[in-house]
Structure 1
Amino acid sequence: MYATIRRYEGIDKVRSEEITRKVTDSLLPSISKLPGFSGYFLIDAGEGVLTSVGLFETSNQAHASTRLAATWIRENGLAAALPTTPMITAGPLIVQGRPPAAAAAAKTALVEA
């Protein structure tokens, strides 16, 4: 499992609500169709910071999500709303914790797949 974390800074609070709506309506559906997709989270870190976390099966798939997000920002006219280049951290998950019920469900899903 690989994660990609993108941290966007300098976002106007008014635009933050617009970005959140657009992520929900169009980015998330697109990212969730990528091969290896395992999860996506958008975090409002306050102080004009939004951080996204994407989980994928492979490194290449995680990097593909970053390219998709960059294209999505351009195509949706959000470059002014996201005024700085995101800080990107990507790599393999090396420790993972889940509640017992979630871990059992994940194992079942892997067996069924």
Structure 2
Amino acid sequence: MHAAVRRYEGVADPAEAARLVAEGFVPLVRQVPGFVAYYWVDAGNGVMLSTSVFQDRSGTEESIERAARFVRDNLAALLPNPPQVTAGEVVASA
């Protein structure tokens, strides 16, 4: 399995960002081949995190591309700063 974590800082309206992600991005990411799981987390203080898990690296890379497009097209006003993106192979899980 592979995963990608994206950290967004300076989120202007976390509740609205969460609504848009749930209604718009979640259906898109679920369509990526190898999809396992997706989480959108409100970490407080204008910080939100997403975690995408896929069966292979190509799914993770596709999710990163789809997330970038979705943010650009739908969330740019709410997520003013580019995310910190970390991706790699899952080496332990529970």
Q: Does 1:81 align with 2:88?
A: no
Pick the aligned partner of 1:38 from 16, 31, 36: 36
Question: Take 1:74 and 1:52, find their aligned partners in 2: how far apart are those partners?
Answer: 16
Match of 2:91 in 1: 94
Question: Take 2:81 and 2:44, find their aligned partners in 1: how far apart are those partners?
Answer: 16
Larger RCO (CA within 8 A; separation ≥ 6): 2
Match of 1:57 in 2: 55
Kindly state the Cα deviation for residue 80 of structure 1 after the two structures are TM-superposed.
2.2
Q: Which has the higher helix share?
A: 1
Unaligned 5+ segments in structure 2 are none
Question: Take 2:44 and 2:65, find their aligned partners in 1: how far apart are those partners?
Answer: 25
CA-atom RMSD, angstroms?
0.8
Which is greater in Rg?
1
Unaligned 5+ segments in structure 1 are 98-113
Question: Take 1:73 and 1:22, find their aligned partners in 2: how far apart are those partners?
Answer: 10
Kindly state the Cα deviation for residue 26 of structure 1 after the two structures are TM-superposed.
1.1
Percent same amino acid at aligned positions? Answer: 38
> What TM-score, normalized to structure 2?
0.95
Question: Take 1:38 and 1:91, find their aligned partners in 2: how far apart are those partners?
Answer: 15
Matched residue SS, 1:26: helix
Q: What is the total number of aligned residue pairs between the two structures? A: 94
> What TM-score, normalized to structure 1?
0.80
Q: Which stretches of structure 1, 4 residues or more, deviate above 3 A after TM superposition?
A: none
Q: Which has the higher strand share?
A: 2
Match of 1:68 in 2: 66
